[in-house]
Structure 1
Amino acid sequence: MPICVFDITPDGTALPPVADRPLGDGYRWWHFDLSDPDLPEFLADHVPDIPAAALTAPETRPRADMYGDGLILNLRGVNLNSDGPADRMVAVRIWVTRSMVVTVRMRRIFALNEIRERAEAGQAPTTPMGFVGALTAGLMGRVRDTVFDLAERIDALEDTMHDDAAPLPAELVEERRMAIRLRRYLGPQRDALMALLATDTAMMSQGQRARLREHTNLAKLAVEELEALIARMTAVQDHHTAQAALAQGRNGYVLSIVAAVFLPLGFLTGLFGVNVAGMPGVDVPWAFAALCAGLVILTATAIWVLRRMRWI
């Protein structure tokens, strides 16, 4: 059984479907879940083979193609369900003609639920392309909000660049992965909306085309923003990597200086610590004081040499 079926009249009223009802300028909206066992039989009776195959494809990418007098659409929206992150985008498969709109989803899509609620309230989109416009607006509006929320989080991550001692933010990797995934799907969606905008179909009025142009511009903006966010996160990571390399270099430099100063001291103390006969000064009371003074002089000399060589 479909999730819902409505006969949409030209004034936006949604009525329960009746088999022999004349639709006139209205249309019928069928909404299915991909796992519905009745879906193949319905498609075989009402939809041509190629659009039917597109509606039941297990994997999709955004597309907009004319087929006969109908339109095949695949669109994606952010996943707002509890079963995964927003960047695991959900797909909606659509077949549109003058008298029919068929939508198929695998997971719940809030933009479709919103249209369903409007239909139940008697405010459904009045034409099939109006339905497509409303769905596109719902999908892209949620995409915009998700991208802008991500941008705000990246702004906070960039603030860590002002603190050289701050470690690399742990969430940077996940945020970058999210931006890349969103860019992966929204790039083709932008292209699909551009193709839909360029489609020469009598089903789309000039007003609907103008509104679709705004949704297409929003898709372009989202893709450009995601590309900028990916570059900004790369800059944040590069900054922290550079700061870590500088800190490691400074630490290594300090250790090298300490080693250069104490290497001769260690040699002498090791030499005079040999417990064998013949060591000078064993029977001289002031020999230890002389050794300490010699070590001080040797340390000062080593530091002077290092300064002359501009190592410190």
Structure 2
Amino acid sequence: MTPAIRAAALPGLLWAMAFDEKGCGRLLEPDEGLPDLDAFGSGFLWLHVDLKTANLAPLIDAGRVGPRALAEAVFRPDEHQRVTVEDGHVGGVVADLARPGAKPDEAGRLHFVMGPRSLVSGRRGPAESPDATRASAEKGQPIASPVLLLETMVGYVVASMAATGQRLSDEVDGIEDRVLDGRVRDDRRRLGPIRRSAVRLHRQLLGLAAVFRRLEEDDAAERLHGPTVATAARLAQRLDALDRDVNALAERARLLQEEVAARVAEESNRQLYVLSVLSALFLPPTFLTGLFGMNVKGLPFADDPRGFPFVIGLCLLSAATTYAIIRALGIRPPRG
């Protein structure tokens, strides 16, 4: 018989939770021994570790984490999303969102090995789904199997991603309303981070959906318990639907960026037109005032008391002539 391993003897173990046959979870005390999963009975065990400080060698050597090669591959520092099936165990790395209070849109990774009566999960940074799942189990939510435990954790990830997508969609809706009303402000600057967040979310969803599609289609998965494949199919469909929404959001943000840029360019052209017309109108009067302001002999109207009104009249006439030429040439302000 494999000797009992106590929770306190595993460095980096964040918690150990035992679930009974009814799916009710109970946190194990540090000095309490981990249940022998090879013994007769029902229920399962959930271990969650901090992979930065954890030492899983005793569990791996004792065969508590599934096949050695699978466990060592899953818990290594590689953060690429993937899934592997071996000897009735499923190991993988999937996307998770950082705990609230971390950097916005920060991506995390959840490593796991799932067996018939156990789930060992780990993370290298603050992740949201394990903490949320633990809180739900402590409040009495029944979780009947490791498959449902994994589905619950991934469900929190999907819900967080969906909430992030909804928040981004609401921001895009507000910007779109202002653009349609012609009230373009600093929206182009706001659309950049929104589009960047949507693209990051799409990448996470794409990888996460691919993991569960591979699990659903893996030939080795046929030897697993039926609910595992069914769970993978449900999650893949849910992730695909959310990914389509996020893709549509990113495309809306891109089109709005182009429209806002066109509106800004149009407003700039209109302002340049006004400045150009003003410059053209003041150019002849400026020339005349400079001409009559030369300090030389022989200037006309120098001694005529009506010289100043005459020069003013010439300036106005030159500006009016310039304006008439502009209209005759068909130069018009840009239209919206």
User: TM-score, normalization: structure 2?
Assistant: 0.81
**Paired position in structure 2 for 1:160:** 178
TM superposition shift of 1:108: 4.1
Equivalent residue for 1:129, pick from 127, 147, 151? 147
227-236 or 21-30: bigger deviation: 21-30
48-57 or 116-125: bigger deviation: 116-125
Separation of aligned partners in 1, 2:186 and 2:61: 56
119-128 or 59-68: bigger deviation: 119-128
2:25 paired with 1:11: no
Equivalent residue for 2:291, pick from 262, 271, 276? 271
Is the contact made by 2:213 and 2:232 (CA closer than 8 Å) also made in structure 1? no
Secondary structure of the 1:171 match is helix
**Paired position in structure 1 for 2:122:** 104
Equivalent residue for 2:46, pick from 3, 8, 29? 29
Secondary structure of the 1:71 match is strand
**Paired position in structure 2 for 1:283:** 303
Residues 262/214 of structure 1: CA separation in 2 closer, same or farther (3 Å cut):
same
Is the contact made by 2:202 and 2:246 (CA closer than 8 Å) also made in structure 1? yes
118-127 or 146-155: bigger deviation: 118-127
**Paired position in structure 1 for 2:161:** 143
Is the contact made by 2:17 and 2:25 (CA closer than 8 Å) also made in structure 1? yes
Secondary structure of the 1:280 match is coil
273-282 or 104-113: bigger deviation: 104-113
What one-letter code is carried by the residue in structure 1 that aligns with 2:236?
T
2:137 paired with 1:116: no
**Paired position in structure 2 for 1:305:** 325
The RMSD of aligned alpha carbons is 2.6
What one-letter code is carried by the residue in structure 2 that aligns with 1:93?
H
What one-letter code is carried by the residue in structure 1 that aligns with 2:22?
D
Secondary structure of the 2:143 match is coil
Equivalent residue for 1:220, pick from 231, 240, 243? 240
What one-letter code is carried by the residue in structure 2 that aligns with 1:90?
G
Separation of aligned partners in 2, 1:42 and 1:20: 12
TM superposition shift of 1:67: 2.4
What one-letter code is carried by the residue in structure 1 that aligns with 2:263?
Q
Identity fraction in percent:
23
Equivalent residue for 1:92, pick from 100, 110, 123? 110
TM superposition shift of 1:128: 2.6
> For structure 1, which runs of at least 5 residues remain unmatched after alignment?
none
Is the contact made by 1:9 and 1:23 (CA closer than 8 Å) also made in structure 2? no
What one-letter code is carried by the residue in structure 1 that aligns with 2:226?
S
**Paired position in structure 1 for 2:56:** 39
Is the contact made by 2:117 and 2:146 (CA closer than 8 Å) also made in structure 1? yes
TM superposition shift of 1:91: 1.4
> For structure 2, which runs of at least 5 residues remain unmatched after alignment?
1-9, 29-33
Residues 83/241 of structure 1: CA separation in 2 closer, same or farther (3 Å cut):
same
User: TM-score, normalization: structure 1?
Assistant: 0.87
Equivalent residue for 1:60, pick from 57, 79, 91? 79
Residues 113/302 of structure 1: CA separation in 2 closer, same or farther (3 Å cut):
closer
Equivalent residue for 1:198, pick from 217, 223, 226? 217
Residues 245/120 of structure 1: CA separation in 2 closer, same or farther (3 Å cut):
closer
Is the contact made by 1:115 and 1:124 (CA closer than 8 Å) also made in structure 2? no
What one-letter code is carried by the residue in structure 2 that aligns with 1:38?
N
Secondary structure of the 2:222 match is coil
The number of residue pairs the alignment matches comes to 310
2:205 paired with 1:186: yes
Is the contact made by 1:88 and 1:181 (CA closer than 8 Å) also made in structure 2? no
Separation of aligned partners in 2, 1:119 and 1:288: 93
Encode CA deviations 1:33-90: one digit per residue, 9 max, x unaligned.
11234324433433434323333332413222212332112122222332222x2122
